[in-house]
Every structure is written in structure tokens, then in C-alpha cells.
Amino acid sequence: MTEVEFRARYNKGVNRSVIITAGVVLILVMVGVWLYLFLFNTGDTGGEGVVDPGFDLNPRPANVIEENLVTEPEYTVDTETERLSQLTTKPVAGFVGFGVGTSSRIRYVEQGTGHIYEISTGGEERMISRTTIPRVQEAHFSPDGETVVLVAFNDFNRDVFASPVDPESEALSITDLPVNAQNIDVQNGGSVRYTFQTNEGSVGYESTLGTDVRELFRVPFRSITALWGKENTWVYNRPAEGLPGYLYEIVGGTYETTSYTGYTLVADYLNGFLGVTSVRDGNPESYFISVSSGDRFDGFITLIPEKCDSFNETSAVVCAAGLVEDFSITDWYKGLTQSSDFLWTVDVLETEATLLENLEQTAGRSLDISTLLITENDNLILFTNKTDGTLWSYEL
């Protein structure tokens, strides 16, 4: 091999090494830039940029559509002929019932538009907010109906907004809350409690219409359900088929374990009691726990949080449940199965359950109850039918 041939081959090998090294460095730089944008980008996600991963506390303004709505005529809903009444034909995002004595008013939010309606004791219905926010799927009212939090789904995000409800102005005065806030609980006076996922777990916050944000707790679990009691707070990991669930109590800004555990565990706070359901040998098993004493009472029927609520003046609760013993809680949450529900009253201290209404027989069709609520004067049960989202009432 001549000197010229040797140098040509040597230079060719060097050039190849340089090219390979430069390519590897370029790839590593591109991966680093992508990771930085993914983890730390907090800019507008509506354009060409990287999608927000969902742990940014910055709110996003509501997409309010300015339109001149034609004044709708007032309707009258029949709430007096039968104890069980269908109040709407359109799907409802959320609702509340409030009042004193035998007088009750109902406010609800229409899915998709965010419009708010009110139904009076006599059944007269009118629109009290004409502010249009597209893709509203959830609504949470304060017990007195004076504050509402709306959740609109935008791509993979939950855009969250709070507002006072002013029937006189027929419009919302919107305060933006953090994107993807969950476990929303609205109190009288505009105080809002919610949880937020981080890389390390979940954080609980409280704010008053988006201002004066105060941290309540931190837990190392991302997918949780929060039970907001009057003085206590509990969390549990969301149910999964065949996996154990645990109920934790929030103490001093962190969590403490309780003795309540079980497969596919779900729980609810019911006016001084915890209603707990878990799966044993393939079948749901439910019971009540007194918050003050820790005493345990039989549940008799399958307790699902969305299907139960407590009376304000007694130790009784109202629950909707079917008669299927091997009912799958996770399949119901996924929408893979439905429940043909009966209405039951359960006196916790007397450990007895009483059939209140055979809903299919009365309504003429099966009702799968979700988001059951007893009005503050204990004279009316409100709920949505999970299959079509319509709002119903049952007079006690």
C-alpha cells in the first residue's frame, strides 16, 4: 500500500467517525430540547407547540361565545301530579336543590352550552344565565346555589371556571381556575376546594373564586377521590378491578392510613358516617362507619358514592341500587354495564333498609341513577339518569 493510498483510507475512516459522532450528538441535543419543552413548557397549548402535560397551575381563560340569544318562553314542569317527575329532556351537567320549609328551587346547567336554568316550587322554568361556554360537561354548585364551577373539556384538558350566579344579570362573571382541577367541592360564600395532580402525587387546594389560594394537603398518589367532610377530609385511590383500595384520612396536611381497605374500594361521606364498599369473593360488600366513634354498621345494599346522599336531620341515607348481586363497580364507572335501580332508605343506626320506590315500575322504563342529591330541607330527591343525562326528582 502506497503512502497516498494509506492516507486516503485513514482520512476516510476519520471522516466516517466524525459524521457518526456528530449525528449522535445532534440526536442527543434534539431529545434534550424535546424533554425540556415537554416538562417545562407553560405557554399557550392551542397552537403548534408541545401539548401541556397537565401539571401547570396556570388557568386558561373561558371560551365564552358572544351571541344574542332569543328570549326563551318560560316553561312549566309538572312536579305535583306524581312523586317521581322527569324535569328535563336535555342532558344536565350538574344541579342543586335549595330552599326552606316546603319550598324548593332547583338550578341546573345544560350540557354543551353552560346555560343555567331555574325551576321554582310550582314547576316554572326559566333561563337565569345566558353565558355560552362550549363543551361544558360538568357543573358543581354551592349548597345555596349562589356559586357554580363549570368544567369544559378541551382536547385532553379540563378547563375549569367559577362564577357567582346572578339571576338578575343573566350572565356569569367568570374566574378561571387551574386547568385539570379535580374533586371539585363548592361551599357557600364562593369557597372552592379541589385537587391537582403533580409528578409526585396530588395536592389539595382551597380558594375563594380563584383568589387567596391555600394548600390543604399533599399525598403521594396521583389518581385519587377526595371526600370533603365538614371537618375531616379523606382520600382513596380510584377503584381498579382486582386491585386493593385504601382509605386515608388527611391529618396536618398529610395522610394517615385507616383500617378500611378492600378490593375495588369506593367510599362516600354521609353526614357523620363513611359509606364504604369493597369487593369480597367477587361480590360487593357495603358498610357504614361512624366518624365520631368508629362503630361499624351493616350497609344492606350496594353503596356507590354517586348513588347515595344523606338526610340533614336524621341518621338515614337514601341510595339507589339494583338487585344484581354480582354487580361490577368498575364496569359501571366505565359505562360497560347499567343498573336498573330501586330507591332505598337506610337507617344507619337502626341497621335497616326500606324500599322507597320501584323506579322502573313507576317510570315505565329502567333508570340508572347517578349524582343523587337530597335538597337541604329533606323533602326532595334529585338525580340524573346516567343513560341520557336527564334530570329527575322524587318527592319525599
Between CA 248 and CA 274 the distance in angstroms is 12
- At 56 the pLDDT is 53
**Higher pLDDT, residue 73 or 363:** 363
User: Closest Cα partner for 114 from 149, 67, 72, 73?
Assistant: 149
Percent of the chain with pLDDT over 90: 63
What is the structure's pLDDT at 66? 56
Q: What is the DSSP letter of 193?
A: E
Copy the grid coordinates of residue 220: 403521594
Judge contact between 194 and 176, C-beta under 8 A. Answer: no
DSSP 325: T
Q: Kindly list the distances between the CA atom of residue 37 and the CA atoms of 25, 40, 43, 54, 201, in Å, as whole numbers in the listed order.
A: 19, 5, 10, 13, 21
Closest by CA to 97, choosing from 356, 365, 394, 320, is 394
pLDDT of residue 313: 81
Output the average pLDDT for the chain: 84
Residue-wise pLDDT for 369-390, tens only, equals 999 999 988 889 999 999 999 9
Residue 34 has what pLDDT? 56
What is the model's pLDDT at position 106? Answer: 95
The closest of 365, 394, 392 to 88, measured between CA atoms, is 392
d(CA 15, CA 10): 9
User: In this structure, what C-alpha cell is assigned to residue 105?
Assistant: 328551587
| Whole-number pLDDT of residue 29 | 62
Task: Write the DSSP assignment of 96-123 as a string of letters.
Answer: EEE-STT--EEEEEETTT--EEEE-TT-
Grade residue 69 by pLDDT with cuts at 50, 70 and 90: low
From the centroid of its chain, how far is CA 65?
Answer: 25
Q: What is the DSSP letter of 132?
A: B
Other beta carbons within 10 angstroms of residue 362's beta carbon come to 14
pLDDT tens column, 139-181: 999 999 999 999 999 888 899 999 999 999 999 999 999 999 9
Angstrom CA distances, 126 to 167, 233, 315, 385, stand at: 10, 37, 35, 22
**pLDDT for 130 beyond 70:** yes
Cβ partners under 8 Å of residue 145, min gap 6: 96, 98, 105, 107, 165
Indicate the range of 76-80, 135-139, 240-244 predicted with least confidence. Answer: 76-80
Read off the pTM.
Answer: 0.80
CA distance 155 to 42: 16
Residue 101, pLDDT score: 60
What is residue 351's predicted lDDT score, i.e. its pLDDT?
Answer: 79
pLDDT digits (tens, 9 = 90+) for 113-128: 999 999 987 889 999 9
Q: Is the pLDDT of residue 246 over 70?
A: yes
- Check residues 266 and 67 and name the one with the higher pLDDT: 266
Q: 3-class DSSP state for residue 330?
A: helix
User: Which pLDDT score is estimated for 7?
Assistant: 47
Confidence of residue 344 (pLDDT cuts 50, 70, 90): very high
CA distance 23 to 19: 6
44 half-sphere exposure, CB direction, 13 A CA radius: 4
Residue matched to cell numbers 354495564: 337
**pLDDT tier at 50, thresholds 50, 70, 90:** very low
Residue 42 has a pLDDT of: 39
Q: What is the pLDDT of residues 3-47, one digit of tens each?
A: 445 444 545 554 566 566 666 666 666 656 555 544 444 333 333
